[in-house]
């Protein structure tokens, strides 16, 4: 009887070793992001100033103090300088400061190596009514690497060549 248990234990141990040898090795965990791309796509290490809204440069966060940097989600507190005329009719432009919290999350690989946070979200602390609520609740993508230039919003004007007073203008496309 003892012999049977000993044989059963050896077979179980052998099966466990075989099962462990046949299983695929665990994939190494991807490294956590440790950079945040600026508006040009250049990765920054723990920036103290971030232009949050790159398209119109209407919000810049400054004097940032980060916590959780290098983890999947990091937060920063600081002071936001905003253009209060961004969403209303003011021809002169006016700026104000508000306390802000930034949350960066997600991860992506940078073309030149390293990992960067993929998204940034901002929240104003306290009473804030300078912008519509729909604008203050946005998650903004932060691509790492070369950012394509913004398209020129002016219509393309074809080149022209004057052929002579009696002939029409020929468009060169």
Q: What is the mean pLDDT of residues 2-9?
A: 43
Q: What are the tens digits of pLDDT across the range 48-63?
A: 999 999 888 889 999 9
Direct distance between the N- and C-terminal alpha carbons of the chain, in angstroms, rounded to an integer: 95
Q: Is residue 22 part of a domain?
A: no
Cα–Cα nearest to 132, from 97, 93, 82: 82
Higher pLDDT, 13 or 81: 81
- 27 or 90: which carries more pLDDT confidence? 90
Give the mean pLDDT of 142-165: 52
Is residue 89 a part of any domain in this protein?
A: yes
Q: Is pLDDT above 50 for 2?
A: no
Range of 101's domain?
35-141
In a domain, residue 7? The reply is no
Q: What DSSP assignment string belongs to 132-160?
A: -HHHHS-EEE---SPPPPPPP-SPPPPEE
Quick check: is 81 in a domain? yes
Summarize pLDDT for 64-115 with one digit per residue, the tens.
Answer: 999 999 999 999 999 999 988 887 777 777 889 999 999 999 999 999 888 9
Lowest mean pLDDT: which of 2-6, 135-139, 140-144, 154-158?
154-158
Is 45 part of a structural domain of the chain? yes
Q: What is the DSSP-derived secondary structure letter of residue 167?
A: S
The per-residue pLDDT of the chain, averaged, comes to 74
139 contacts: CB under 8 Å, gap ≥ 6: 119, 120, 121
pLDDT at 30: 66
Domain-located, residue 74: yes
Specify the range with the lowest mean pLDDT, choosing from 30-34, 69-73, 76-80, 156-160: 156-160
Identify whether 131 is part of a domain. Answer: yes
CB 71 within 8 A of CB 104: no
Domains identified in the chain, total number:
1
pLDDT of 32 > 50? The answer is yes
């Amino acid at each position: 009887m003892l012999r049977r248990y000993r044989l059963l234990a050896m077979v179980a141990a052998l099966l466990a070793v075989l099962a462990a040898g046949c299983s695929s090795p665990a994939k190494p965990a991807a490294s956590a992001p440790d950079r945040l791309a600026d508006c040009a796509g250049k990765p920054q290490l723990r920036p103290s100033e971030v232009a949050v809204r790159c398209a119109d440069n209407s919000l810049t966060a400054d004097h940032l103090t980060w916590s959780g940097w290098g983890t999947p989600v990091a937060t920063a507190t600081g002071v936001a300088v905003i253009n209060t005329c961004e969403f209303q009719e003011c021809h002169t432009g006016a700026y104000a400061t508000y306390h802000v919290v930034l949350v960066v999350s997600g991860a992506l690989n940078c073309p030149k190596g390293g990992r960067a946070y993929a998204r940034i979200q901002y929240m104003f602390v306290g009473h804030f009514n300078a912008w519509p609520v729909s604008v203050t609740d946005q998650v903004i993508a932060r691509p790492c690497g070369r950012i394509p230039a913004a398209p020129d919003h002016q219509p393309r004007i074809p080149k022209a060549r004057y052929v002579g007073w009696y002939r029409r203008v020929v468009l060169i496309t």
